[in-house]
Amino acid sequence: MVLLLSNLLAAWKIKLKSGAKVEPKIVSTASTSSTTMASTRDVGNEEAEALISQVLDIYGKLHARGSDDLKPCDEVNHLFIDLVGMCVKTISEDVTNKVLNDARVIPILPSLRKLCGAAECHLESHWAKYISGDTSSTSKNVHDRLAEFPYYSNYVDLTRMELSALNSLIAPSSIPLHRFAFIGSGPLPLTSLCIYQTAASFTHPGQNITAGNSVEVLNIDVNPKATSESTQLCKLLGPSASGMKFQCSPAHSSELDLSGFDVVYLAALVGSTQAEKEVLLESVVGRMREGAYLVVRSAERLRRLLYAEFDPTAEKVLDCLDICLAVHPYNFVVNSVIIGKVRSRNAAKE
């Protein structure tokens, strides 16, 4: 292209020097350019409008049922398959912003997220009971039913992503991460189970060692029913869940001792707004040891329809954490991951 332009300019100069009268033909590209831009805008607007219509339609049907009537059934299942499928699509930032900033979407976001949270709790409770079965269930029966959970592979992949990210941060001279706490574990503690089963086999960077049988996961939930269901499930799973411990407690309780853990997780549903998450984060980090890691699940792009976004650059966050890593998946994994390291108390005061 550069050579072509140079040749054209050279030819133009030769014609001028020859004294010939030249009437240059000016071709305006403005109309072509503006037409292309307008066409692109139209396509973006159409895509955004289609997504907005889908969001409003799904929300209307979920809202009409109400939080108490979102237990798994054909209609609810199909609504969430459509909603999650839409949220994990890779679309342009422009279209994403059009959807999330639309005057019809903004007012329903808090309610939509609450409905999603309620449905998630119903789903987990339903499956916890199904997986546990009755008194005749063997450990193998329970394991087989656990693998039937529709989002099981999502949890496996998300946990592997998180553990890989965590292992990339620890020094070769450190011992493997082996004590985990999960706040907001719910009735079906799939993340914790995946942590327990996967962390034991993760090879420590720079060393040919693993955490092995020393892995322990403390599951923390404020809901007694959720704690009871998850405890029963893990008891039935047998040795593959022997390192799973449980405590029914609010995240901000002073009786919740987090000082002995290498990693503490905050589930995506813990805190429905940035402000709520910051208050909980300050309380939780205040009871963790210096140098331990906090993993906060967040959401990016259209996934923010499902979960509140967490801003790791907020002043209150940076006062107590050194943000190490943020991972935003573009595949079917829903949650983003923010990892921060607990700052020294002296540094936090400065």
195 CB contacts (<8 Å, ≥6 apart)? Answer: 159, 163, 180, 182, 215, 217
CA 108 – CA 54 distance, rounded (Å): 13
CA 264 – CA 249 distance, rounded (Å): 15
Report yes or no on 37 lying in a domain.
no
Would you state the pLDDT for residue 14? 34
List per-residue pLDDT tens for the chain, 350 residues long.
433 333 333 333 333 344 444 444 554 555 555 555 555 566 679 999 999 999 999 999 999 999 999 999 999 999 999 999 999 999 999 999 999 999 999 999 999 999 999 999 999 999 999 999 988 889 999 999 999 998 888 888 889 989 999 988 988 777 888 899 999 999 999 999 999 988 877 665 555 555 556 789 999 999 999 999 999 999 999 988 999 999 999 999 988 999 999 999 999 888 888 999 999 999 999 999 999 999 999 999 999 999 999 999 999 999 999 999 999 988 888 889 999 999 986 655 55
235 CB contacts (<8 Å, ≥6 apart)? Answer: 241
Give CA separation, 326 vs 12, 41, 51, 75, 288, in Å: 55, 31, 27, 35, 20
The pTM score is: 0.81
Domain carrying residue 306: 138-349
For the range 232-236, what are the long-range contacts, defined as Cβ-Cβ under 8 Å and sequence gap of 24 or more? 232/128, 232/132, 233/128, 233/131, 233/132, 233/142, 233/187, 233/188, 233/189, 234/189, 234/193, 236/132, 236/133, 236/137, 236/139, 236/142
CA 309 – CA 312 distance, rounded (Å): 10
Q: Give the containing element (helix H, strand E) for 206.
A: none
Report yes or no on 339 lying in a domain.
yes
Would you state the pLDDT for residue 18? 43
Report yes or no on 314 lying in a domain.
yes
Would you state the pLDDT for residue 294? 97
Residues β-bridged to residue 321:
342
Report yes or no on 202 lying in a domain.
yes
Report yes or no on 92 lying in a domain.
no
Report yes or no on 157 lying in a domain.
yes
Per-residue DSSP letter, 187: S
Residue 325, phi then psi, degrees to nearest 5: -160, 145
Give the number of C-alpha atoms closer than 13 A to the C-alpha of residue 100, restricted to the C-beta side.
19
Residue 302, domain CATH: 3.40.50.150
Would you state the pLDDT for residue 197? 87
The domain tally of the chain equals 1
Report yes or no on 307 lying in a domain.
yes
Report yes or no on 181 lying in a domain.
yes
In the block, residue with structure tokens 């060692």? 209
